[in-house]
Structure 1
Amino acid sequence: MSDSDKPARTRKPLGLKRSVDAGEVKQTFSHGRTNKVAVEVKRRRKLVKPGEAPPPEVAPEPTPAPVAKEEPPKKAAPKKPAAAKETPQERVARLQREAEEERLRLTEEGRKRDEERARQREEEEKQRAEENRKAEQQAEKEAVETAEQEAEDATAAAEAAADASVQPDPDKPAPRKFTPVAKPEIKRPEKKREEKPKRGGGGGKDKRRSGKLTVTKALNEDEGRRARSLAALKRAREKERRLQGGGSDKPREKQVRDVVVPEAITVGELAKRMGEKGADLVKELFNLDMMVTVNQTIDQDTAELLVEQFGHNIQKVSEADVDIDTSVDEDPEETKQPRPPVVTIMGHVDHGKTSLLDALRGTDVVKGEAGGITQHIGSYQITTKDKAKITFLDTPGHAAFTEMRQRGANVTDIVVLVVAADDGIMPQTIEAINHTKAAGVPMIVAINKIDKPEADAQNIRNRLLEHEVIVEELSGDVQDVEVSATKKTGLDELVEKINLQAELLELKARPDRAAEATVIEAQLDKGRGPVATVLVTRGTLKRGDTFVVGTESGRVRALIDDKGKQVKEAGPSVPVEVLGLGGVPAAGDQLTVVENEQRAREVAQYRQEKATEQRTALAPTSFDTMFNNLATDVVEWPVVIKADVQGSVEAIVTALHNLSNDDIKVRVLHAGVGAITESDVTLAAASNAPIVGFNVRPNPKARELVKRDGVRMMYHDVIYNLTDEITAEMVGELGPLKVENVVGRAEVKEVFKSGKKDKAAGLLVVDGAIRKGLHARLTREDVIVSATTIASLRRFKDDVDEVRSGLECGVVLEDTNDIQPGDQLEVFEIEEQERTL
């Protein structure tokens, strides 16, 4: 073979077995820009279903090759596919089309698989429902079989008992003796329960395909098959009732209720208490020609008709039953325990009451009081050397605080009357003695300031005899002790006598009950809201208790003792500040703990309605009364009062009313606790009244209104200065006091003409003298005809200034010609004096 006959040894074409085809695509952009991009197209991979064998690859047809003797024949390269002749753009489009077809095919296969799974789930659910239904039927069947078995056992037991009572035959054996015992030992239900899993249709290997896990399947098999659904139990009971002949369609017996009906009640509330539908009550009232709705109020008589119509029993209650009456609630003697005594310190101004209490407490309260006098009731509790506790109430001694001292005497057990040894018995001392006697409280006389050189304790004891206060030194029953608050002498003796008096009184109270307390003082605190200082009389006041006090209700948010610390509870005779009130109560109101907030609101609302009725009863009820009040000559001095605490408000109002007389009276437009607000300024501006601020100031908005409207403000912190300034204001309003002094009297004898219009009267002076220019009053049969002045006075033909008694004269009166013989002429002069209230 020549070299020319040998096949050429050349490399195989690179493009035949490449898995990637390359080409170029021309991209066109905006603004005429173009770009050529090289594109590589991979061959499509054929996907097969799981479990199927991949299709055999089709080998390319061999290309005939020249016969070579030396070498075995080689395979020729496969023919190029027809797609190789495609342009790159056609190839890309074809490949994209094939990829989209493949995606659609896969999507269809997935949808079919999902439908198959859903169909399988539905079949499994139907199968589980069928199994549950069969299980319920089987459970009901077992229940019936169990009941029959129990009945058979009971019958057998009864027969055995009957046979046992008969004397056995000695010739025959007695096999029945153990039969009643053996029968209950047959565990038939347990056998059935053991067989249940076998016929439940689910072996151990099938549990994997039994569907989702249920509560019944989560339990063990025995418990799960014994458990019955609530619906199945209801169906079984209903079936038993039907079998017993008591069908469900039997009418239910009507329940008769005892309905509590107050004097007025809404239709809806009455329906709720009767257990009836509100629409039925409205329909019944419609039949009675009463067009009402569920929310309207009906009277007690109409409610009684409705209650009787519906077959219920009525229990009438009055509105007074809503209120709380603690006077009838007495605690049993065996439940009471000893309590600390409540001691009230009384006496005249500046006799050392607060200083004496400071010495007992070891604190200094006087520095905090304006003017050095006490204007609030302070409540404190001290612990003596023998660990005994004493509660002290420090009452003001000024005359304006009589009501506050009155309340102090009403809640106290012992009164300590403080009398200054260098001053003696004063008016407020006498008032304190009277309050103590009226309250029936034992008294201890503390003769203070005994350290001063001019002190005379024996004189005080003798002076007390004038007011029927006899001390032990003078063979009386009133204890007395000489003390010095500044030197702190005699304090131990005073505490001993207080404890001795408390032992004689045997003070007890029940602590384990709902608390009752008396409001000593109340105020509106800017940061804490309404705050009341109360003294617990019985029970234990706890944090969280719901209470009603006066016309207000609330819930105890916090309890603060006299040292400023928060406490969780307060027992009898303990003074505390209570936070959580709905409003500021009046000092002296009773605080009562109730069971719930609804009861507290009900009582508070009832008391508010009663207070409103009392206020409206005092108001003018007719136009005649209103016009008569307008026609009076009494000058009204309006005022708006705001103070820091309720006790100060009451004291100021009382003091101002005491300043009123027949000529002028104080009209309090508004009196309240707290800072001066915009509404106070608006009210004062509309009535042209000043605002009295006692230990309070206006808020920022109120200050702007004060400047804008020009309202006069009167700020005070001592009640002396307040009453003095208001007295001067009222005196200035009235002006000086005008006093009439009668100078002389005369009788008209004749009447003459004087000039063209005037008339002259001939007079006989009966008493005193008549002077020219004085005021005159002409009366006819003791009825005033006119009030005038003497314009001209003549004696014969001469003008004179004065004519004395027993002489005759002629006068011409100014502005009047109505003069007749027989009239009386009274001449007087007016003198201005300084007015006092």
Structure 2
Amino acid sequence: MPQVRPPIVTIMGHVDHGKTSILDKIRQSDVASKEVGAITQAIGAYQITWKNKKITFLDTPGHEAFLKMRSRGAQIADLVVLVIAANDGVMPQTKESIKIIQESKTPFLIAVNKIDLPEASLDKIKGQLAEMEILVEGYGGNIVTVPVSAKTGAGIEQLLEMILLTAEMEELKADPQGELEADIVEAKKDQSCGPLVTLIIKNGTLKKGDLLMAQGVYGKAKLIRDDKGKSIDEAVLSQPVEVLGFEGLPPVGAKVKLAKGETVTATPKASIQPTKELSEEEKAKRLRIILKADSEGSLEAIFGSLPSEVEIISSGVGEINESDILLAKSCGAKIFGFNLRLSGSVKRLAEEEKIKIFTFQIIYDLLKQLEEMILKIMEPTIDRNVLGKAEIIAEFEAKDAKVAGAKVVSGRINRTDKVCLERAGQIIGETKLKSLKHQTRDINQADNGTEFGAIFDPAVKFQKGDLIIAWQ
């Protein structure tokens, strides 16, 4: 028989507006301080009890890379709390969150955080919202606005009161004895346990030992853990839990149901398909990478933010392994890992094979590194300090090498400098100076206006008119 179930509430808003801090204050825990860089990297699902009533919270990342996570959070939730910082006002991800809320038609209320700051302005925010046709109470509408401070705790109890009141008006009901239905919030591969799936019960009851299916991925609930990490025998309505026992990683956002009368078989690993095949000319302008992440949600967020110049050779959820190293070597790719640890054997093999592995715990840093590397490919001299330039005016044959006869046109050319050759504005080779002579005399440096002869090591093909550029 249907009964009232606890509300599922998504916290949304712009990055650093205090979403996790508000939830942290509600739970009187220390979640925010545990977040790397104080940024929520994946949806966290938690349940609290307040005045003998339960409320389930979803905390979604505010960075633009996590758009799909935020959208998914709104679709799963019964109610959205839109957090806006009183000092910043409406920001880009605030507008984006409002769009998601409106498209999903999810009821919402607004929590104006950081009201303890001297520059806080509630009226300014209400005015900004009115310009977007979001009419709050007192400004011609009925959308509830609650001023709060995650720092002092002011307004937190009023916020909880309004959440429960709004949920009561929505008449949320489900049948604990009915067919199981749950939403997958996150899926990740644990090195020791295997696939771990975070889900929230929307109908029915999940029991230990149940055979499950989620969009073609099967499993058995071998272990059920609540949001505090405690092992439990069953999960009830609106409860967020972590389940161990799926054969593979089901898609985030998929519905979980009981696999009645079906055979549980091994499921192919979920993965994101590599990008389309590129021509050799296109590949020369691309950064080839192998991408591994801790969860499907993280992988999805990174994929949605990758620059077009990145070519994905392979991607997946789970630890970076020896096979990734060998694949990178064969394809000339670099390896990027997000929120992963490297084993000693992988580090050793990477060193032996001279494969670069970049690992990150904050998505901003990963994307910034990619952008810098792409810029380097597109413009190799972007970070070089030019020390001098010389124009090649003649070429001679020496005993075992070709000699470039050149004249310094700016700066100086030193025998210890790194040099590159430029033709028609394009870098055609990188090399060093094996020999530097003025007439028949060995010299260490040729200054502006000086003519000299140079032998390159390694040898590069040059012609009259090319520029020798010394740089550091």
Q: Same fold (TM over 0.5)?
A: yes
2:185 is aligned with 1:517: no
Q: What is the CA–CA distance in structure 2 between the aligned matches of 1:360 and 1:391, rounded to whole Å?
A: 11
Aligned to 2:377: 733
2:236 is aligned with 1:571: yes
Of 276, 286, 303, which aligns to 1:653? 303
2:209 is aligned with 1:559: no
Runs of 5+ in structure 1 lacking a partner? 1-334, 620-625, 739-774, 776-837
Aligned to 2:39: 373
**2:201/2:239 contact within 8 Å kept:** yes
Of 242, 252, 255, which aligns to 1:587? 252
Q: 1:633 to 1:374 in 2, by over 3 A?
A: closer
Q: Give the residue type in structure 2 aligned to 1:481.
A: V
Q: Give the residue type in structure 2 aligned to 1:404.
A: M
2:314 is aligned with 1:670: yes
Of 459, 465, 478, which aligns to 2:130? 465
2:183 is aligned with 1:539: no
**1:415/1:443 contact within 8 Å kept:** yes
Q: Give the residue type in structure 1 aligned to 2:379.
A: G
Q: Give the residue type in structure 2 aligned to 1:430.
A: K
Aligned to 2:10: 344
Q: What is the CA–CA distance in structure 1 between the aligned matches of 2:361 and 2:187, rounded to whole Å?
A: 17
Report Cα offsets for 1:385-431 as digits up to 9, x if no partner: 2x111100000111111111111011001000000001111111111
2:403 is aligned with 1:403: no
Shift of 1:519: 0.9
Shift of 1:698: 2.4
Runs of 4+ in 1 over 3 A off after TM superposition: 628-634
**1:381/1:391 contact within 8 Å kept:** yes
Shift of 1:490: 0.6
Q: What is the CA–CA distance in structure 2 between the aligned matches of 1:450 and 1:391, rounded to whole Å?
A: 25
Output the TM-score relative to the length of structure 1. Answer: 0.44
Q: Percent identity?
A: 43
Q: Give the residue type in structure 1 aligned to 2:26.
A: L
Shift of 1:737: 10
Aligned to 1:689: 333
Report Cα offsets for 1:658-706 as digits up to 9, x if no partner: x22xxxx211122222211111111111111111121212223322210
**1:514/1:594 contact within 8 Å kept:** no
**2:218/2:259 contact within 8 Å kept:** no
**1:642/1:674 contact within 8 Å kept:** yes
**1:653/1:668 contact within 8 Å kept:** no
Q: Give the residue type in structure 2 aligned to 1:378.
A: G
Report Cα offsets for 1:427-447 as digits up to 9, x if no partner: 111111111111000111000
Aligned to 1:784: none
Shift of 1:632: 5.0
2:285 is aligned with 1:635: yes
1:473 match: secondary structure: coil
Runs of 5+ in structure 2 lacking a partner? 383-423, 425-472
Of 358, 361, 365, which aligns to 1:721? 365
2:375 is aligned with 1:709: no
Q: What is the CA–CA distance in structure 2 between the aligned matches of 1:411 and 1:692, rounded to whole Å?
A: 31
Q: What is the CA–CA distance in structure 1 between the aligned matches of 2:238 and 2:58, rounded to whole Å?
A: 11
The answer to which structure, 1 or 2, has the higher relative contact order (CA under 8 A, 6+ apart) is 2
Q: 1:638 to 1:615 in 2, by over 3 A?
A: closer
**1:530/1:582 contact within 8 Å kept:** yes
**2:200/2:238 contact within 8 Å kept:** yes
Shift of 1:631: 5.8
2:77 match: secondary structure: coil
Of 191, 194, 198, which aligns to 1:529? 194
Aligned to 2:408: none
2:90 is aligned with 1:425: yes
List aligned pairs for 1:279-298, cutoff 5 A: none
Aligned to 2:394: none
Q: What is the CA–CA distance in structure 1 between the aligned matches of 2:154 and 2:343, rounded to whole Å?
A: 47
Q: 1:513 to 1:696 in 2, by over 3 A?
A: same
Aligned to 1:134: none
Output the TM-score relative to the length of structure 2. Answer: 0.77
List aligned pairs for 1:737-748, cutoff 5 A: none
Aligned to 1:27: none
Decide which moves more: 454-463 or 729-738: 729-738
Q: What is the CA–CA distance in structure 1 between the aligned matches of 2:359 and 2:145, rounded to whole Å?
A: 41
List aligned pairs for 1:140-159, cutoff 5 A: none
Q: 1:533 to 1:468 in 2, by over 3 A?
A: same
2:162 is aligned with 1:497: yes
Q: Give the residue type in structure 2 aligned to 1:538.
A: N
Q: What is the CA–CA distance in structure 2 between the aligned matches of 1:452 and 1:364, rounded to whole Å?
A: 22
1:580 match: secondary structure: strand
Shift of 1:650: 1.1
Of 145, 148, 153, which aligns to 1:488? 153
**1:546/1:596 contact within 8 Å kept:** no
List aligned pairs for 1:204-283, cutoff 5 A: none
Q: What is the CA–CA distance in structure 1 between the aligned matches of 2:29 and 2:218, rounded to whole Å?
A: 34
Q: What is the CA–CA distance in structure 1 between the aligned matches of 2:176 and 2:352, rounded to whole Å?
A: 56
Q: 1:519 to 1:465 in 2, by over 3 A?
A: same
Q: Give the residue type in structure 2 aligned to 1:369.
A: E
Q: 1:538 to 1:634 in 2, by over 3 A?
A: farther
Aligned to 2:100: 435
2:78 is aligned with 1:413: yes
Shift of 1:736: 6.3
Q: Give the residue type in structure 1 aligned to 2:289.
A: V
2:294 is aligned with 1:644: yes
1:655 match: secondary structure: coil
2:310 match: secondary structure: strand
Q: What is the CA–CA distance in structure 1 between the aligned matches of 2:110 and 2:311, rounded to whole Å?
A: 40
Shift of 1:550: 2.9
Shift of 1:633: 7.8
Q: Give the residue type in structure 2 aligned to 1:350.
A: D
Shift of 1:629: 4.1
**2:43/2:69 contact within 8 Å kept:** yes
Report Cα offsets for 1:329-363 as digits up to 9, x if no partner: xxxxxx32111110000011111100100111111
2:4 is aligned with 1:354: no
1:698 match: secondary structure: coil
**1:346/1:418 contact within 8 Å kept:** yes
2:305 match: secondary structure: helix
Q: What is the CA–CA distance in structure 2 between the aligned matches of 1:593 and 1:430, rounded to whole Å?
A: 38
Q: What is the CA–CA distance in structure 2 between the aligned matches of 1:473 and 1:558, rounded to whole Å?
A: 50
Decide which moves more: 567-576 or 438-447: 567-576
